[in-house]
Amino acid sequence: MTIPISLSLLETAVKLFAIMAVARALLQYLDADFHNFISQFIYRVTILPIKILRIFVPRIGGQDLASPLVLAVLAAGCERYLFIVGTGNEINVSGLVLLTIARTIEFGIGLMVVAVLALVVLSWVSKRITDVYRLVLTLTEPLILPVRRRLPSFGTLDFSPIVVLLLLELTEWLVVGSLEAAGSRMFL
């Protein structure tokens, strides 16, 4: 079955917005600096739905962490819904919930993989700390620091980004794969 081009374009736009929403949730959770062009772009793209969600979703511990997370899950759910409708399957709510959770985690892991790869590249080419480098450090340090502490020293070589990438891929394979398989079985 072919998917109409308009539905495919809408699904792509929703997927990009879902990635932005997950990025906003990660940035807000990690208390990242919002004074660089990447964070400002993500902030501007997601601010209107966040303002609307703040009416319905309470703050957690005085911080507004819930509304970006809810937005990320809703956007990923819409993206999965459009995909399911495009393939001609009937909607199964339980399956859609599992696929939505899997997709949200997949987007988060994908963003962290890109951040770790950006950290590696920036560490090779940049001799000074820029706003983008600082943002990438904010995103990656919670993952890399514990691994770096446990790895033996190899002189100037740092293998912790490689270990973190392997752990992220393993997590995606185990968690996302299991959730997607369970969700997909509900549509059979």
**Contact residues for 147 (Cβ-Cβ < 8 A; gap 6+):** 160, 163, 164, 167
Alpha-carbon radius of gyration of the chain = 18
Q: Provide the Cα torsion 64, 179, 147, 115; round to 10°.
A: -60
The pTM score is 0.86
Backbone angles phi, psi at 60, to 5 degrees: -110, 115
Residue with tokens 């009937």: 90
| pLDDT on residue 2 | 59
Collapsing DSSP to helix, strand or coil, 63 comes out as: strand
| pLDDT on residue 85 | 80
Q: pLDDT tens digits for the chain (188 residues)?
A: 556 777 788 888 888 999 999 999 899 888 888 888 999 999 999 999 988 888 888 777 767 778 888 888 898 888 888 888 877 778 888 888 898 999 999 999 999 999 999 999 998 887 788 888 899 999 999 999 999 888 887 777 788 999 999 999 999 999 999 999 998 888 75
Distance CA 128, CA 147 (A): 24
| pLDDT on residue 161 | 92
